[in-house]
Structure formats: structure tokens, C-alpha cells
A and B are shown apart, each in its own frame.
Chain A
Amino acid sequence: MSALQHPPGRPPIYGLMAEFNSVTDLIAACRSIHDAGYTRVDAFTPYPSEEVAEALGHHRSKLPGIVLAGGLLGGIGGYLLQYWTSVIVYPMNIGGRPFHSWPAFIVPTFECTILGAALSAVLGMFFLNGLPQPYHPVFNVPRFALASRDRYFLVVEAQDPKFDPQATRQFLFDLHASEVSDVAH
């Protein structure tokens, strides 16, 4: 799921943010809220945590596919460039070597492959994460600054079909949230 999409009909708030003291609480909360059928939920941790992701039902990332494509593109492109320039555009007798000296062309091909793959890995990652996105509603909650230190947060968007200001808030408290606050747009 991506934070890119914005609601058509605009609810009063962006959503509710629950704060947890430990990652275990957060994981538990994620599981329950996911089981409870909430779909527009996101969790925030100071460091990567696979369970959180699993608990929210994130599974395989699309990235590997993108990287493979990028790598192939780079490699093939690199080889074709060399073939085209040294066999078609301006073939020259270089030290009696044939125009198509494929063994020599391997090295640049390899490097191009890596370059293509690496670039697509990074750009792909940013793209999938919808970055750059300097502005985001969650930053409106002052305590959210602790998300990059030692606090764990869970946000339920108002967009969520099952969202209900009171019920959801209560539900979050039931999940041992130390605190629940509104997230302004």
C-alpha cells in the first residue's frame, strides 16, 4: 500500500496515530488491527522490523524484478554500444584484432550491467516508497519525531472503510497504545 493516494471526499482528519513503547506491542497491535480488517494502516519504527511488515500483510517487494530488468538493460545496452561503435560505425584495424573482439567487450558489459542494476535498485526503492515526500500529515504530530528514536507508531487513515473516530480510537487504546492522537491533514 502506498501513502501516495489521496482521498477523494475529504474527511476532517487524516487519521489516528497510536504510540507504543515497545516493538512487541506494535507488532501485536498490527496483527490485531490487520485481522480486524483495517486496510489503510501503516506502522512506523526506528529500525527495520520484518514482523511489523508481515503483521501488516506486506509480502514480496517488487524491487527485485525492477533490478533484474535494469541490469539486463544496462548489460545489453553496453554490449550493443561496443559492437555498434567498433564494428559498424568506424571499424578499425587495431593491432590486428578483429573488429568484433568480443572477449575485450566483456568487461564494460559487466560494468554496465552492475550500473544499470544499482541505479534501478535505488530509484526503484524511492519510487515504490513514494519518495521524495518532504511533507506528510504524520509529521503534524509533534511526538512523531520520536519515531526515529525509540518510539513505535501506528496510523489508521480516515480513508479506511472501517474507520470510525470513536471506535477506532478505543480499539487502539485496547491494543495498549500509550497514547492516541489525531493526525491533521
Chain B
Amino acid sequence: MATLDDPGFAAALQKPYRPPIVAPGHTTASVTDQISAVVLQRTPKWWFFGFAGAFSLLMVFLVSVTWLFAKGVGVWGINWPIGWGFDIINFVWWIGIGHAGTLISAILLLLRQEWRTSINRFAEAMTLFAVACAGMYPVLHLGRPWLAYWLFPYPNTMNLWPQFRSPLIWDVFAVSTYATVSALFWYVGLVPDLATLRDRSRNRVAQIIYGFGAMGWRGSAAHWHNYETAYVLLAGLATPLVLSVHTVVSFDFAIGIIPGWHATIFPPYFVAGAIYAGFAMVLTLAIPLRALFNLEDFITTRHLQNMGKVMLATGLIVVYGYMSELFFAWYSGNVYEMFMAWNRVFGPYRWHWYTLLLCNAVVPQFLWLRRVRTSPLWLFVISIFVSVGMWLERFIIIVTSLHRDFLPASWGLYHGTIWDIGTFVGTIGLFLTLFFLFIRFLPAISIFEMRTIVPGSHGGEYSEVPE
């Protein structure tokens, strides 16, 4: 685990423009008590309101999906030539959001960015729930969803198997692996904290439930020894995985021959976009969360600042992606590519494109200012913009590429319907519902990792080694 490797770094921490990652005065005991209190104390009122809201959105999802199953995907706005609409847009959007979680918990871990410690837990939860939402769409978008299991390789009486050249099958493998690994990673991280809750709670039922989850964890040196190894290995595995997942998602388009899809820049550009969107979502969640649970001590402006920086960086990569797409189109001299580019900028969906630029390219530039980076409100607003922008990006990629492809005679137009919107809003409901349950019943911040970074604690290898 990461913290102050060298005094210079530690000193740097003290500089005013670098607020600490934990407020001064905390001890292992205080961290433990304060974080576990969030779970063990009585439920705050606002939680019920929040949950009720989220749950009603979830019901919207239920209704939309039922109507969808009753009637078929025709209730959506899709047609030919535009065979994919909100369904795949949302799929890519959610998957993208998921990425930040894994990035924070795995990649930053390997990079020893200790500031990740206080946000990785709920970032991972966010990943999990985002992937859950994303995972719905590949099923929902099917014309015959009840046959979704045909996408998995299983022996059957038809002697038929999936067609492994299809990017959709790659998706199945990538997304299900991603979901599994994220879940494992998350759970493994939880085990010691579940033990803590088990030991803290005075309520028999809670003890049993947490105790069950803790599997009898007792923090023995031998346990920690294997545990650390496993945790680092998982991080090492999750890192290439997370990069591969959005690469594979981008293959859905890059493998296609449609102008606007068939581009080699897609994988890096998608991954960057995913992290961009993901951090935006982390901020959207973290900022209210720290306020509501008074966790400012643990999620400090330092964290917000750093996430702002990451957004700025990835945002610029994404913008580079847009520009290079246009450049390639022009440079290729290919009539289809050139028309595609022209159509994005001047076609019927031009306003989507301009809004996209506003949200993803213009607004984030404010992050250059420290005052903005350190202001929760500003960051919150910007992250909302980015989420919208990233949704629009997927809309542009899918819809504007399909609606005017090769043969002018088969051009079309696409509008979402109320059911498209219902499904989208519905999955947001699902996401929030799960998130509310999570923050209520599980420690939103990794307790045992916090213990390692409170000043004075002799966390693992970082305590001064006696000669």
C-alpha cells in the first residue's frame, strides 16, 4: 500500500496547495470508529428519501422493460438503417463509467497513488453497479431476449456454438469477465472490513451477516501475507483487463465497415473516454457523499483536485480523438469517410455534435484553474457536463455513422421514443438504488486501508525499518 515513501514527498504533502489525504489528528481507532459508524448508526432520514427516489426510477425501468418484452424492440426509435440507438449508446456509456473504479483501485494501486485509498471502495462499487446496468442492454436490445443464452458457449441439441469472429461474442467474454473480476476484487477488499464490522456491531443479526461475509477473517499475519499477494495480483490482472474491455467494446464499431466506425484510433480513444466519463461519475457521487456522511476528513480536496487533473488529461485525449477522426477522414481522401465527417459537422445531427464539443472539449478547460479544481461545486457541475458529453459522443458515433452510410437511397433518421428514455432513466434508477443500498450497509471507504495511512500508524512495509 502506498504512502509517504520518502520524507521529501512527505514534506511536499505539507505544502499548502497540497492538502493532506487524511485530515490531521486521526488514529487507527478514530478512522475505524468513524467509518464503521456510518454503517452501524441509525439510518439518516435523507437516505430514505434518496432511496425512495431511486427506487421509483427503478420501477420506471420495470415498466419500460415489460412493455419492451411485450411488444418488441419496435417500441424504440430504431429502424433501418439505424439498427442501434439508445440501447447500445447506454451500454457503452455505462461500461465506460465503470472503468474509473477499476482504474482507481487497480492502476493507482500499482502506481502507489495512496490518495486512492479513501475513494477506491465506492469507486469499485460504482464500477460493479455500472457494469450491472451496462450488462442489461446486450440482453434488452435483442429482438428475442429470451434467447440471450445462445450467446454463451454451452453444449446443446442443435450442435451450434457462438460465432467467435463476432465482436459481440468478444463483448460477452470481456464484459462477463470484467463483471466477475470487479466483483471478486471488491469482495476481497471488503473481507477485512466485514470482519471489523462483525467485531464492532452489537446486533446479533448484523454480527452473523457480517461474520458470514468475513468468512472468519481474523487478521492473522499469515492471512495478511497471502491477502496482500492476492490483492496486488488482482490489481495486476484487473489493469490489462480494464484496458481490454473498452478496447473490445470499441471493436464493436472498429470491426464494422461503416464509415465513422471503421477507425483504428477507436481503442485508445474509447479507453480514454471511459476513464474520462468514469472520473466524472466518481466525482458526481463522491461530492455529495462526503458532505452527507461528513467524510471530508477522508475524501479531501486533494482527492477532488487529483480527479480533476485526471479528467483534464483524459478529456484532452478524447478531444484529440475527435480531431484525429476528422483529420483521417480528410487525409484518407475516401469519399465515404469525407462525407461522414462533413455530415457530423453539418448534417441533421450537427447540434448534437456542437453540444458534444461544448461538454467534452470546452467546459473541462476550466479545470486548468486551481480554484475550479478545488471547488466541489464547480467540479460537480463540470462532471455532470462531462457525463452528458460522453453520452452524446456515443450517440454521434452510433447514430450519425449509421444514418447516412454508403448508398444515399438507404439513408434514414433516428429519434428516441418515450420507451428509449424510460429504459435509460430506468437503468439510472437501478444504479442509484444499488448505490444507496451499498452506502447504507457496507463501508463506503476501505477501513483497513485507511488505517495504513493514518499518520503514525506503522502500516506494513512503510513503517521505519530499524537497522
Contacts and interface: CB of A to CB of B under 8 A. Distances in A.
The answer to whether A and B touch in the complex, with CB atoms under 8 Å apart, is yes
Interface of A: 1-3, 22-24, 30, 42-53, 56, 58, 61, 63-64, 67, 71, 78, 81-82, 85-86, 89-90, 92, 94-95, 97, 101, 104-105, 107-108, 110-112, 114-115, 117-119, 121-122, 124-126, 128-129, 131-136, 138-139, 144-150
A30 to B, nearest CB: 8
Contacts, number: 219
B390 to A, nearest CB: 24
B173 A108 contact: yes
Nearest to B244: A110
Given A47-B28, A149-B32, A132 B463 contact: no
Nearest to B162: A85
Contact of B164 (A45, A67, A108, A139): A108
Given A2-B222, A63-B229, A90 B161 contact: yes
A114 B230 contact: no
Interface stretch (B5-13, B49-57, B131-139, B191-199): B191-199
B450 to A, nearest CB: 9
B218 interface: yes
B237 A121 contact: yes
A122 to B, nearest CB: 5
Interface residues of B, number: 69
B332 interface: no
Interface stretch (B209-217, B333-341, B402-410): B209-217
B222 A58 contact: yes
A157 B396 CA distance: 66
Interface in B199-240: 199-200, 211-212, 215-230, 233-234, 237-238, 240
B164 A148 contact: no
9 contacts: A48-B460, A58-B221, A63-B233, A89-B161, A111-B170, A122-B184, A122-B234, A145-B199, A150-B27
Given A47-B457, A89-B161, A138-B218, A23 B448 contact: no
A108 B169 contact: yes
A149 B28 contact: yes
B397 interface: no
Contacts of B177: 111-112, 114-115, 118
What 10 A-B pairs come out closest when comparing CB atoms? Answer: A125-B230, A132-B215, A85-B161, A133-B216, A48-B224, A145-B199, A111-B173, A104-B165, A148-B196, A150-B29
A132 B216 contact: yes
Nearest to A52: B221
B130 to A, nearest CB: 19
Given A94-B163, A101-B165, A108-B170, A46 B216 contact: no
Interface of B: 1, 27-29, 32-33, 153, 159-165, 169-170, 173-174, 177, 180-181, 184-185, 187-188, 192, 195-196, 198-200, 211-212, 215-230, 233-234, 237-238, 240-241, 244, 248, 251, 448-449, 451-452, 457-461, 463, 465
A128 B222 CA distance: 9
Contacts of A43: 220-221
A114 B181 contact: yes
Contacts of B1: 48
Contacts of B28: 46-47, 149-150
B403 to A, nearest CB: 24
A30 B240 CA distance: 38
Nearest to B193: A148
B221 A53 contact: yes
Contacts of B449: 47
A139 B27 contact: no
Given A48-B228, A86-B165, A107-B170, 17 more contacts: A43-B220, A47-B224, A47-B457, A48-B227, A50-B228, A63-B230, A64-B229, A101-B164, A111-B241, A114-B181, A118-B177, A118-B184, A118-B185, A121-B237, A122-B188, A129-B223, A149-B29
B452 A48 contact: yes
A160 to B, nearest CB: 15
B270 to A, nearest CB: 14
Contacts of A49: 221, 224, 458-460, 463
